[in-house]
Chain A
Amino acid sequence: MDKKLGVYICSGCSIGESVDVSQLAKVAESEYKVPVCRTHAFLCGAEGVNLIREDLKQGTTNAVVIAACSPRAKTAEFSFDPRMVLDRVNLREQVAWCHKPNDEETQALAEDDLRMGIVRAQKMEPLESAPEPISKSILVVGGGVAGISAALAAATAGSDVVLVEKQAQLGGFAAKVKKDIPRHPPYTEAGADGLASRIQAVASHPRIKVFCSTSITKTEGQPGMFDVTLQNGGQPFTHRVGAIVLATGWKPYDASKLSGLGYGLPDVITNVEFEQMAAAGPITRPSTGLPVESVLFVQCAGSRDKDHLPYCSSTCCMNTLKQAEYVREQNSEAQVFVVYKDIVTPGQYESYYQKVQDQPLNFFMKGAVTSVATGADGRVNVSLDGTLLGSPMLIPVDLVVLATGMVPNSADGIAIRTLHDANLKVARNESDTQRQEAEKIVEQYKHHEGTEILNLTYRQGPDLPVLRDGFPDSNFICFPYETLRTGIYAAGAVRAPMDSTLAEEDASGAVMKAIQSVQMASEGQAVHPRAGDLSFPSFFLQRCTSCKRCTEECPFGSLDEDEKGTPRFNQYRCRRCGICMGACPERIVSFKNYSVDMIASMIKAIEVPDETEDKPRVLIFACENDAYPALDMVGLSRATYDASVRIIPLRCLGSMNIVWIADALSRGIDGVMLMGCKFGDDYQCHFLRGSELADRRLVNVKDTLGRLQLEGDRIQLVQLAIDECGRLPQVIDDFVGKLRQLGPNPYKGF
């Protein structure tokens, strides 16, 4: 494209008082010979913006560099055609507001930032928007409360819905309870939940197609064009949908693992079994068939326990209170004991706890059950310790109910794939050691056999990856309902343990995301977290060596393999993070507005003073999610730090290609800092593992540095959260101080 660059420099917001704007203009005009360079004291005002629009209208410019405030500010004012080349140079939050005004080094920083901005705009190409035809139908997997609510929500909003349910009828667990926990003020009455009428509404809605006794045999394609093959006994048939809501719900924790709490004895049952019994008829002792006179409920049975489920399932306490009322309805003199670690009845549910607690014959005690055994008289003796009385207790009762927790009905996609790959290795039998290792893996993962739900034809695995405790998760801190597969959203108890009221709300949330995702896909845009992004990576496959790094490292499984083993990119699965770009050793991946060459050129544009001047130059790659805003916030709070740093924003630290470090060091830059989100167990990286990948790649870099006789300490990766901006100035100053100690880069001036 014949680029006509317009550079616009704002001197407002104390930029003009901090740096010499006319000097900056000179850099643009004489060093880069840009056709248009203007300065203005108030660029985001009507007059200033008009300057830019006029030049574009006249055709004097077709690409714009705005050197003013942070790209995160004034986005509405500086809003043009989204396909146009627009680059924002941050002279305010990252220059004027955090460095010494009218200082030589501050001026040098501003000039370098402008240089980098101009080079970047020169390398950027306008984006295209040529989306393919997108289906806006929603597939809902699972016909329980969440699934039904999702189907109704989507259909009411105007979407076509396909609802798939494995069992013969809709309703899931919620349809099988005797009563639901209180759902309406004053939250003291258990009762009917209106599910039957909603099932009816789903069955009769013109936009919803319901398939019971049906499972998914294959999900091919990508968001906007998922081809889902369904099977229900007859011929398999396929539907095309745009997004998927996974609402497969939960199953009870396996009580056979709770023999320590007495499960296995005839009069020890689970809360689900108790509910079934109560819904079907009178509550009786399984051993005698006689109505119960005393019942003991054990809360947190196999929950909040490091040997079983580590989490709280949030609904068991409310259900126990409800079940205590069932016993009372049947027998007003019955004694009901509830033994708990805590009673979890948050918010309005506390009113129900107060009501059930008020009954004189409901006995509540915090304690730990030490044994459950049959007594001499045939009753069940429950022993407690760690009680509120300070002494162990022995309570003989007719029936013990274990309040067990919820386990999500999810498939571990990565584990299933690992199992399949190991099976292949065993079959291929290339060497004894390989086969033995593969057999060990098969043994470890074999319980995942046949557990697929979605049966995705993704190279990375036939189902969603699961994170903690089997829940499909993405970065729930910021984006609930997301999973690690774009266009697939989790709702209800499969996402997190919850009751039916919350599951209805959850379903609405997931449906909103699903509708949003197909809408944005139909406009060629990414949906999250880079909402609205029209760019996508292109792969120069001629130079691909099929090393598969991009295929494996993409957090979202955007790349499959074709028959020859070369990567096959699925644009609508992509979240545009650029991790593939960072992974590729051949550097064949690039975006129209973000490429290896672009960043490398930006690095080369930095003016590096030679070693006679005591002016170190430090490069900071800052990820745009946490690190860049944190740097902005340092500026907002007017804290200052060393002006030797040059900040280059990246979409994700995972998109960092090692060649940039080599480029930086060979230019004489003294050190490189990578600033990104936290990784690890409580990760915050918005692309799951970008900063972790960068950290791993750095290990190789440090080896290279050693061979070049450069200190490994010149490269540092810093993990921070957006709220840690307070410590940033210290972190940066310490790093520059350390580099000063190491001395200047010996490659300066080469």
Chain B
Amino acid sequence: MASALLVQPDTKFIHDVMQGGGADLKKCFQCATCSSVCELSTESRPFPRKQMIEAQWGLKKQLMADPAVWLCHNCGDCTTKCPRDARPGQVMGAIRREAIKRYAFPRFMGSLVSTPKALPLLLALPVFILYAIAVWPLPGSAAHGWEFGFMFPQARLEELFFAVGGLVMALFAIGVIQFVGDLRASGANGPILTALGPALIEILTHRRFAKCSEEKNRYWGHLLVFAGFGGLAVVGTAVGMGTMFGVMHTPLPVLSPFKILANLCALVILAGAVILIVRRIKDRDARSSGTYFDWFFLLVLASVAATGIASEGLRLAQDPTWMYPVYFVHLTLILVLFLYAAYSKFAHIAYRTVAVAATWEGRKQRLAVMDSVATETLAEKSS
């Protein structure tokens, strides 16, 4: 038997969770309807009932190291069925926010990114960098017509993004390694490295996401954004490498297969983001519980896609007045997205993946449990 847990409630943590979307946390009276209806909750690792009472009691240490917090896909089935309106889905989201803040390196960035007042400061950094690039002279070849390369030389951008990418990976790694250490200490002993492969396949297919019955819109929205992003990542890397080795020149012709794929992905991202935004506005529950933390990530993402498409459109139309400013904004937002990836909601790509891998119980077993759960839960029966 485990030794007794010494109770010293972290009252600031309780306050933070309630501020971060879990305002109705205290209404939970532990009936476990949420864990029963959750399609992703399993017998070996049920959630979110226990997380609710751990949050009520301010047991921050336990919650930060709990992988179940990340197994949750925020579908909201539990919130819909909760008889007390304690909104467990939103509480889980708030706990995830606290986890991102906790594992943020450096720590102050975690608080900064989730504070609305710090937004001007956060924007100022990428603006400054891009401005510097724009005015930094670089010997360039002549171009035909208006090109972004005039203001933002490809080479500089490559250096910038590789640098940013490297920095982000490093910072992420520090946070994730700490997270893994805490996971192990709390007993999540899945073979992370070997499980990463199958875990990623499950994530790619959105198999878990599909199980959530209440919010089909979120499944589609996320799938589109995810797929679009994946596609762009592939294209972007390929084009980046291509230009670096001199076999490609940007801007690519519209009919180039890379360009077609890239444009397709951009549209897909935009479509997905719009679905997610519309859902957050139309659904009363989501509208009333959305926090700055949620909207920051979503709006930046949507704007990146929108400004990207707008930039290309303006370039093709050869409008010099607007194409550069819009492109500037586009690059700013991309930098915001990536510079602060480890501190915003974007960080879930690392934490959720690691948590899924750390709790991996084998593909067949997992699928079998999930499939059998699917035929018996309340959510299915009542819909």
> Which A residues form the contact surface with B (CB < 8 A)?
335, 337, 343, 354, 357-366, 383, 388-396
Contacts and interface: CB of A to CB of B under 8 A. Distances in A.
A358 to B, nearest CB: 5
Interface in B1-20: 1-7, 9, 11, 14-15, 18
B145 to A, nearest CB: 62
B67 to A, nearest CB: 16
Pick the most buried of B3, B49, B57: most chain A CB atoms within 10 A of its CB: B57
A335 B2 contact: no
A358 B2 CA distance: 30
B206 interface: no
B4 A392 contact: yes
A394 B6 CA distance: 5
A394 B4 contact: yes
26 contacts: A343-B29, A354-B84, A357-B26, A357-B29, A358-B27, A359-B26, A360-B11, A360-B14, A360-B15, A361-B11, A365-B53, A365-B57, A366-B30, A388-B30, A388-B49, A388-B50, A389-B53, A389-B59, A390-B50, A391-B2, A391-B5, A392-B5, A393-B5, A393-B7, A395-B7, A396-B6
Interface string B240-279: 0000000000000000000000000000000000000000
A335 B5 contact: no
Contacts of B182: none
Contact of B54 (A364, A389, A392): A389
B90 interface: no
Contacts of B114: none
A358 B1 CA distance: 32
A202 to B, nearest CB: 41
Given A391-B4, A394-B4, A357 B53 contact: no
Contacts of B5: 389, 391-394
How would you classify the secondary structure of chain B's contact residues: helix, strand, loop or mixed? mixed
A363 B56 contact: yes
Given A363-B57, A365-B57, A388-B49, 12 more contacts: A357-B26, A357-B29, A359-B26, A361-B11, A363-B56, A364-B29, A389-B59, A391-B5, A392-B5, A394-B7, A396-B6, A396-B7
A354 B53 contact: no
Q: Which 10 pairs, one residue from A and one from B, show the smallest C-beta to C-beta distance?
A: A392-B4, A394-B4, A395-B7, A391-B2, A358-B26, A393-B5, A394-B6, A360-B14, A388-B53, A388-B30
Contacts of B29: 343, 357, 364
B327 to A, nearest CB: 48
Contacts of B49: 388
Contacts of A335: 9
A390 B9 CA distance: 17
B313 to A, nearest CB: 51
Interface of B: 1-7, 9, 11, 14-15, 18, 26-27, 29-30, 49-50, 53-54, 56-57, 59, 84
A389 B56 contact: no
A246 B182 CA distance: 64
Nearest to B62: A389
B81 to A, nearest CB: 18
A393 B195 CA distance: 34
A392 B2 contact: yes
Given A394-B5, A394-B7, A360 B53 contact: no
Pick the most buried of B4, B49, B54: most chain A CB atoms within 10 A of its CB: B4
A230 B54 CA distance: 60
B32 to A, nearest CB: 9
A383 B4 CA distance: 8
B11 A357 contact: no
A363 B4 contact: no
A399 B237 CA distance: 64
A354 B27 contact: yes
A357 B14 CA distance: 14
A335 B5 CA distance: 17
Contacts of A388: 30, 49-50, 53
A393 B6 CA distance: 6
Nearest to B26: A358
Contacts of B1: 391-392
A392 B49 CA distance: 17
Contacts of B30: 366, 388
A392 B3 CA distance: 7
B216 to A, nearest CB: 33
A28 B14 CA distance: 88
B56 to A, nearest CB: 7
B186 to A, nearest CB: 12
Contacts of B59: 389
A360 B7 contact: no
A393 B57 CA distance: 12
A383 B50 CA distance: 19
A574 B29 CA distance: 52
B65 to A, nearest CB: 14
Contacts of B54: 389
Contacts of A361: 9, 11
Contact of B27 (A357, A363, A390, A395): A357
Contacts of A337: 7
A363 B9 contact: yes
Contacts of A389: 5, 50, 53-54, 59
Nearest to B49: A388
Nearest to B29: A357
Contacts of A390: 50
Nearest to A362: B26
A394 B72 CA distance: 29
B160 to A, nearest CB: 45
A171 to B, nearest CB: 35
Pick the most buried of B7, B14, B53, B56: most chain A CB atoms within 10 A of its CB: B7
Contacts of B26: 357-360, 362
B17 to A, nearest CB: 10
A363 to B, nearest CB: 5
B41 to A, nearest CB: 15
A354 B27 CA distance: 7
A391 B56 CA distance: 16
